[in-house]
Amino acid sequence: MQKKFLTLAVASALAAPGLALAQSSVEVYGDIHMAFGHFNYGNPTAGVGSLSKWDVANGASNFGLRGRESVGGGLTAWFQVEQNAPLERSNNQAIKPASRNSAIGIQGSFGNVFMGQWTSPWADLDGLWAVGTVGFWGPVTSIIGRRETTGTAPNANCVNLLGAPGAGGGDAAGSLATGICDAIEAGGGVGHPFWRRMSNAVFYQSPVFSGVQFKLAVQTNEGKAVALGTAVGVAANASMWSSSIQWSGMGGRARVGLAIDRHKEFTTANTTDSGWALKGGYNFGVVDIGAAYEKMQYRAAAGDAEAKQWGVAADFPIGTGSIKASYSKADDLTGAAGVLNSGAKQWNVGYEHRFSKRTNIGVGYAKIDNEAAAGFTWTGAPPSQGGSNNSPQLGGDVATIFLSMRHRF
């Protein structure tokens, strides 16, 4: 009753002259996910010492609006606008409308076509295997899919400075002050984080035929640019596509998916990064298992770099709860631009109790063991030794023991 009342209130708030909005067409939804626990940052390579602290963490909590409407001819129009819900004041996050999965689309017998910002087909496959995570301290976005350091829409002409020489389209004197860009677009580094949402993109999801579904997403070359004569601007034409095919069968017990991505000029101009991943699992009843393997190749200026990651997960049901565990590993970056001792291992184990389909509580332990030149961590971790961000010092391990709570509405 409360959800229906809230839906009616939102529909009334959105009503305006000339706008007809059926009361039943808009739904308010959300996912509140928090954890309380003790964090430890181990001794890093630089020897600055370990650090222990208590933390209340936000696990990508969110809320949004979504709606559907039959428009005739077997077609359904739909929309979704989802944003983050930063339940931690200390993390200095603001609510950013449409910062999460947000799009508008139309669905019919041909499938589902939409445009906006959404998780990639590559990232969608994580739901097939990641059954072993209690709370949000698991392998997805920490070891699996997290090798890279650029944003979702890298731009060779972006820096967050006015007229910075060598970037941002500014000349040496700084007279062409065009280099202020979104922080995500300005992120430098190697490759595209394969777990990130794709923005400026068009998506297609096929109907399910005998348990098989195909997905394709194309991110446009919105940031295409030419060098500005004597200025320092960089000619660039970045774009990407992501695809997957997945199958589920045997009454839903078996599932497997293959993803293939191509990311043009995300690392270096005139080059294309590539990657593929295989993920899946099988539910035996007494245990549900999952496994993932992914391989990426980055075209850095110093030469190619190759990354390989893999993981396994298990869920053992016990009454209205389950024991969950996972292990994952990132190998060293190899190739001409490889880095020795850049790998890491991650494992977690815990118990999750389900009070209902919407509410659960879990307790667990998780750890990332970074090699000397690695700095893997989890999204939502507290600041490390430096105090300003959650990136651990290279070679420093990260561990937490926690209590998590989650409610979906």
Specify whether the backbone of 322 is left (phi greater than 0), alpha (psi in -120 to 50) or beta: beta
Tell me the per-residue pLDDT of 144-181, one tens digit each, with 9 for 90 and over.
987 776 666 777 777 654 444 444 444 444 444 455 66
What pLDDT sits at residue 18? 41
Which of 79 and 86 is assigned the larger pLDDT?
Answer: 79
What is the Cα 106 distance to its own chain's centre? Answer: 24
Tell me the per-residue pLDDT of 338-370, one tens digit each, with 9 for 90 and over.
889 999 999 999 999 999 999 999 999 999 999
d(CA 280, CA 257): 6
What pLDDT sits at residue 243? 97
Can you name the residues that pair with 36 across neighbouring β-strands? 56, 403
Tell me the per-residue pLDDT of 226-268, one tens digit each, with 9 for 90 and over.
877 655 677 889 899 999 999 999 998 999 999 999 999 888 8
Q: Considering only 109-113, 184-188, 196-200, 342-346, which range has the smallest mean pLDDT?
A: 184-188
What pLDDT sits at residue 189? 62
Domains of the chain: 2-12+25-408 (2.40.160.10)
Tell me the per-residue pLDDT of 263-299, one tens digit each, with 9 for 90 and over.
998 888 889 999 999 999 999 999 999 999 999 998 8
Residue 14 binned pLDDT confidence (cut-offs 50, 70, 90): very low
d(CA 362, CA 355): 11
What pLDDT sits at residue 43? 86
pTM of the full predicted structure? 0.86
Using the predicted structure, report yes or no on whether residue 6 has a pLDDT greater than 90.
Answer: no
- What is the mean pLDDT of the segment spanning 87-104? 81
- The beta-carbon contacts of 100-103 under 8 Å, at least 24 apart in sequence, are 100/62, 100/64, 100/197, 101/64, 101/197, 102/64, 103/79, 103/203
What pLDDT sits at residue 163? 44
Tell me the per-residue pLDDT of 305-330, one tens digit each, with 9 for 90 and over.
899 999 999 999 999 999 999 999 99
What pLDDT sits at residue 154? 74
What pLDDT sits at residue 225? 86
d(CA 154, CA 263): 11
What pLDDT sits at residue 395? 93
Tell me the per-residue pLDDT of 36-53, one tens digit each, with 9 for 90 and over.
999 999 988 887 889 999
Cα distances (angstroms) measured from residue 197 to each of 208, 284, 357: 23, 32, 26
- What is the mean pLDDT of the segment spanning 179-190? 62
